[in-house]
Every structure is written in C-alpha cells, then in structure tokens.
Structure 1
Amino acid sequence: MKKIMGLLLTVVLVMGLFVGCGSKNKETEPTGGKDNNQVSDEGKDSTEDVSTDKPKVGVTIYKFDDNFMTYTRNAMTSAAEGNAELIMNDSQNNQSVQNDQVDVMISKGVDSLVINLVDPGAAPTIADKAKAAGIPVIFINKEYPDGTDKIDYDKSWYVGTQSKESGDIQGKLVAEAWKEHPEWDRNGDGKMQYVMIMGEPGHPDAEARTKYSVEYIKSEGIEVDELEKQTGMWDATKGKELMTTWLGKEGDKIEMVLCNNDGMALGVVEALKADGYFSDDKFMPVVGVDAIPEALDLIQGDIMLGTVLNDPLNQGRVSIEMAINAALDKDVLEGLDFQLDETKAVRIPYQPITKDNLGIAKEAYGME
C-alpha cells in the first residue's frame, strides 16, 4: 500500500511539474503573439511619421505584358526609389479587375493613386472611388475622352501625350520617305497601297493614329489605297498573325505597313522575314509608334523605316512625382519642368525617329 501511495505521489508531482511547464509556455506564446500583432500608440505615431516622408502610392497598369507600359512601369519604380512605396498591380486588361484593385489599395491606406486605365471611359468611376476616400489620383497614358477637367474631382490629373500629334508625325515621316523612294510604288500607279494595324478599339491613341496618319499623308498630295485594316490590340503576336494573313491574300500589292505601335510592328517584321523580306533587296517599309529599344535596333539595321518617340521614362517619372507631391499636399507640379493645360493634363511631346536621329530615342530610354 505504501508503495502504491508513493507511486501515486510521484505521478502527481510529475503531472504538476508538466502542467506548470505547459502553463509557462502557454502564457509566453500568446503574450508574444499579441505584442507582435498590436502596435502601441507610440509605435503607431512613429510609423505615421515615416509614411509622411515616403507616401504609399498605389499603381495599376492595364496589362504588364504591354511593351511600352513595361518601360513606363520601370520608370515609375526608378522615380519612387527612396521617395515612395509603390503598390503595383497588373489589371490584366480587365476593367472589373482594375476597379477591385483600386478598392483594395484604398482599403490598405494608399496616399495617392496612379492609374493606367483599361477602359478610358472608366475614369469617372475610379475618380469617384478616390474622391470618397480623399485620395488624389493621376491618370496616365489613357485619357478620359471628354478630358480630365470634366471629371468631378479636383484632385485628379492626367499625364500623357496629345494623341493627334503622334498620327501627324507618323504621317509626315511616311510622306517624306515615300517621296524620297519612288521605287516603293511597285505597280507604278502613283498611289500608296497600304495596310493598317490598329491598337485597341476605342483607345484615344489608336483612334487618332489611325485617322491622322493617313490624313497627313493625303495632305501631302499622296494618293492612297487602303488594302486592309484590322486591330492588333497592341500585341506583337496579333500583328504577326495579321501580316501573315495579308501577305497570303494581297501578296506584293502591299507597299506600306502602318502600325499604331512598335509592339505590333515587331510582329509584322517577323511575318515579313518569314516571307523573304529584308534579304536580297526585298524590302517593305514598316512604321510604328513608341520608339521602344527593340524597334530602334530594327531601324538601325535598315529593317524598320521609322517610329515616333512616345517617351515612357518621362511619363512614368512625372506621374509618380506628381502622385508624391499630391500625397504630401504640395503643388502637384512642384519640382517638375512641366505645365498643366486647360484639361488638367501634362503633355509629354512626341518626336519622329529615323536612323538619322536614333540618339534622341536612345537617350530617352537611358540607352546612352
């Protein structure tokens, strides 16, 4: 009996020790967890001081795999370095996705927004979200068709280009080259037979480049015949597919290829190469817009005729610097050598690019 009582006493002591150790661990872990997940008033104030110096800027890009917007996005990242925290989103070319991303960023407490719209017509909806939260918003590259000044929010601005200008410049570049190369008129009928690959339907840049490039060519006294015109959605693969189809249908009737952007022009060049162009003196003039480095290489190699510089570095930089200024309640243009026009827009100028002035575009892309 004594042995049994002694054994029971030992078990009780051991269990007591185990429970005591367990209680100690249980007490330490939750306390530590609470301390890690809660911020004291002092700590919270310190965090707010840091965020005042480096505001949080929420960014959405209509789709990451767009050639031009990739360079613009990189410029944004460089401009924000040491000056702001960026929250970057790929809207995957879906306006509903973009709307949800804006809601999430607002809930995370961003101090300003930079929006590359999927649908330019959605600008008022995004502005209403920003206005309700008291957050300034900078639209970039895709402009609300009625003008940013028509949006009912005083803390909304636009950074981009004047769409018509890119069409005019592309048309001028083509007209001058056509007059210098009468051999491009293959059938000798005195007319330019061309095909046009357009950007996204309804996009202000696509609409303007399609219209004004041809209007400028005709204003120079050049007669034209439009053989084909389709949207390539800014995409190189679609540009290649369209050009391959047209070569099979139109053959050497095509005398000029006009592209709303360089991305699609790259695809066109691939299709032309597969058809034997750019070797044995078989040439097809191709023009684009944006002056991305890949296109500059093709111009250097006498493959593309030319392009139009659509400056991504300044668009990206200016949009972020404006967003930082607005977040800190400063003049939105403080420290910037730009002005707002009557539509509350900062206009980044276009420039024609050929082999004769590649250095301008290379400098704009930080290649020199």
Structure 2
Amino acid sequence: MRKLWLVPVLLLCASLTACSSGNGTSTTGTSNSATEADTQGAETEKDAATDGAAQGGIPVAGACWYNFADTFISNARQTLLNVAKADGRIEVIDADSQNDVGTQTSNMNNMFTKGVDYLVLNNINTGAISEICDQIKEEGCYGIFANTDTPSDEDFAKNDKLYSVASRAPESGTIMGEAVVKYWKEHPEADRNGNGKLDYVMLLGIQGHYDTEVRSEYSVKAIQDAGIEVNQIGGELICEYNRAKAQEAVAALLANYSEDIDCVLACNDDMALGAIEALKAGGFFKDAGTYLPVCGVDATAVGCDAVREGTLLTTALNNPVTLAKAIYKVMALTKEGTEVTTESLGIAGTEVEGHRVWISYKAINADNVDEANYDITNTSLE
C-alpha cells in the first residue's frame, strides 16, 4: 500500500515559495497562454490517463504547478501538455496548487495515490525539499523539481530517480541590476533627489521563495558591485508575483516618496507591470523628464510589449517552452533508459550537470526585444 505523507505543518509558514519566475513567469508576442478549454481538457483526461498506467499502458506524469494563474506557469504548463500529446510516449496530468502549500501537498498525495510514474513538482515548500525527496523515494516514482530551488547533493545521492530542471536564478537578478547600472551611469538626472544614492523599490514575490530571494539579492549586488550606493524605499514589499498587489504597493509609496524613487526592481514582469500602472497614474512616463526605470523578469508577452512601449527598461527571458520541453525530454530519456546529458537532452539553451538541468536567462531590452520570441504550440523536442 502506498503511504500518504503530510509535509510537517511547522515548515509551512517559513517556507512558502513559488515559481516565478519564478523562476518565475514569462514570454513574448508569439506565445499563447493556456485557455479555459485547455484546462478543462486536461481535467477530463486525468482518469483515463491514470487508468492506463494502472493497466500497464504508457507512463503517466503528474505535474503539480504552483499556480495556473501565473503567466509563466500557464505557458510552461500548456507547452508540457502540448508536447506530451504530440509525442505520445508519456501522458501528462496536472493540478493547480493555487499558491498554497497545503493544496500542493494534497495534490502530491493524490498523484501518488493515482500511481504516477513521474512527479513533476513546481515546489512552493522550499524548506521541506529533503522531506519531499524522501517521500518521492518511498513512493518509487521519478521526481522532477521544476523551476524551483534544486534538491541538495545529499538528496540526489540518495535517489537516482531524482532530477531538477530550473533556470539559474542569480542570472535574472544580475540582469536587472546591470541594466539599472547602465542607465544610472548614462543619465545623471536619474538621481532624482540628488542624494548621491540610488533609491530603489523592490517588489518581492512570495516570502521565502528561492527565486524572490535570489533575484532581489543579486540585482542589488550588481548595483553595489558597480560602486553605486543604494537605499531601499518601502522595505520588504511582498506582492506574491501579483500585478494588482504590486500596483497597490507602489501607489501607496508614491504618496510619500514620489520625489525620491529612482527605480523599481520587480521579481517578475507581472509585478513590474503593476508598478508601471501605478507610476503612470502618479504622473510618470508622460515624457523623457518623467521616465523612471522599471525592471522585471520573465519576458512575458505583456512584459515585452512594455519594453517596446518604453516603460519597462529590461526583463530577463525565462523561457517556459524550454522548461517544459526539458522536463518532458528528461522523462522520455529515463523511460528509454538513456543517460540524461547535455547531448542526449539536445535542447538549445540547456546544460546538464549530473541530475540538474540548467536553463540560462537572457537579457531583453529595446534593442533585442524581438529575440524574446517563443511559441508554446511548437512541440519539437529541440
């Protein structure tokens, strides 16, 4: 009999995490988000898929995403479903954790009860990674941590069925920070209150989330490494990767700091766009004299539109199509008994180190925004 595990409740408060971005969120003008019909279709196929697995049919992968409503996750999720349907070697079913640790734990247990051969986990309980890895080993299925903090070397050593497919999160923070440095050095007027410091607002995703912590840390580090003194305005602004919450947070700051804010750093594009809306309402972006640099992560379609519009200074491309294809290819290779290497994976923009598959970020700005192009209907495994 399979065990149903509960991740210890004491870990929940300290370890809420998500993807975005994170890593994340993501894409450009040619991408397509998952539709309501797509969601309903995936739901109706679940029972048939798991029945097939129980009867010795094709392997079934159960994907537990942190939040279907996240732009990046929506695109990665739909790409994975599209690739699985086109390829036919592995059936994919999925579940929405709705940005809640308890819901994700329940979804995981449901997947184990269904007897899935692969668990794809966009984990939001980073503090419990080792416990989750032990659970996966006990269940005997493959585990793939997707676009989240990677398990430790010790966790990998205990289970050769464990994999991680994720972006190099520090790169996204560095990309934001370097863009701000370049703007600051080219525009003396960027020091709006003349205090000699770069006064910034940081919009965070989920408290304790790996991508949030790393993106915020490395963006500020890149600025400081360039010799620029910084000052954070507003403290820890937890906006949960949500556009409306970011808009509300920035609007509240403008009441007291409209003359002091020099830039906004957002841990995903959705929050960056919320900040831009608040800034527009506060009188910014009317002309060159009211411009304020805002940076994001993911290069989503709407994010890239803002880059073209001239309101988003830069974003970091986290490609959801690459993520989904890499996840599926790892499953296909292990099904065939083939070692997962950079060469056998064969997907552009990926690098394999042991059981970790890394996806690189790419800086996107007005000069190369059209390069942030991807198509979630493209199902070729390259």
- What is aligned with 1:310? 318
TM-score (normalised: structure 2): 0.77
- Of residues 87, 90, 95, the one that matches 1:89 is 95
- What is aligned with 2:139? 133
Q: Is 1:336 the counterpart of 2:346 in the alignment? A: yes
Q: Is 1:71 the counterpart of 2:75 in the alignment? A: yes
Q: What SS does structure 2 have at the residue aligned with 1:205?
A: helix
Q: What SS does structure 2 have at the residue aligned with 1:201?
A: coil
Contact 1:307 1:353 in 2 (8 A): yes
CA distance in 1, matches of 2:376, 2:323: 12
- What is aligned with 1:118? 124
- What is aligned with 1:20? none
Cα pair distance change 1:152/1:249, threshold 3 Å: farther
Contact 1:340 1:346 in 2 (8 A): yes
Greater share of helix: 1
| Long gaps (5+) in structure 2 | 1-50
Q: Is 1:242 the counterpart of 2:249 in the alignment? A: yes
- Within 5 Å, give how 1:352-367 maps onto structure 2: 352-363=363-374
CA distance in 2, matches of 1:366, 1:78: 7
Max radius of gyration: which structure?
Answer: 1
| Counterpart code for 1:274 | A
CA distance in 2, matches of 1:358, 1:214: 24
- What is aligned with 1:348? 359
Cα pair distance change 1:129/1:146, threshold 3 Å: closer
CA distance in 2, matches of 1:274, 1:304: 16
Contact 2:67 2:96 in 1 (8 A): yes
Q: Is 1:193 the counterpart of 2:193 in the alignment? A: no
* Cα distance, 1:107 vs structure 2: 2.1
CA distance in 1, matches of 2:271, 2:154: 28
- What is aligned with 1:227? 233
Q: What SS does structure 2 have at the residue aligned with 1:202?
A: coil
Q: What SS does structure 1 have at the residue aligned with 2:61?
A: strand
Q: What SS does structure 1 have at the residue aligned with 2:346?
A: coil
Q: What SS does structure 2 have at the residue aligned with 1:77?
A: helix
- Within 5 Å, give how 1:287-326 maps onto structure 2: 287-326=295-334
Give RMSD over aligned pairs: 2.5
CA distance in 2, matches of 1:132, 1:327: 19
Cα pair distance change 1:329/1:359, threshold 3 Å: same
Aligned residues: 320
- What is aligned with 1:177? 183
* Cα distance, 1:108 vs structure 2: 1.8
- Of residues 256, 265, 268, the one that matches 1:261 is 268
Between 206-215 and 161-170, report the one with greater CA deviation. 161-170
- What is aligned with 1:56? 60
* Cα distance, 1:319 vs structure 2: 0.9
CA distance in 2, matches of 1:58, 1:270: 37
* Cα distance, 1:366 vs structure 2: 7.9
Q: What SS does structure 1 have at the residue aligned with 2:199?
A: strand
- What is aligned with 1:17? none
| Counterpart code for 1:348 | I
- What is aligned with 2:27? none
CA distance in 2, matches of 1:144, 1:216: 23
Between 251-260 and 322-331, report the one with greater CA deviation. 322-331
CA distance in 1, matches of 2:67, 2:175: 26
Q: Is 1:213 the counterpart of 2:219 in the alignment? A: yes
CA distance in 2, matches of 1:153, 1:317: 23
CA distance in 2, matches of 1:113, 1:150: 15
Between 171-180 and 115-124, report the one with greater CA deviation. 115-124
| Counterpart code for 1:92 | Q
Higher relative contact order (CA 8 A, sep 6+): 2
Q: CA offsets per residue over residues 74-111 of structure 1, 9 Å max, x none?
A: 22122212323211100112222222222222222222
Of all paired residues, the percent bearing the same amino acid is 35
Contact 1:112 1:327 in 2 (8 A): no
CA distance in 2, matches of 1:69, 1:184: 34
| Counterpart code for 1:225 | N
Contact 1:120 1:145 in 2 (8 A): no
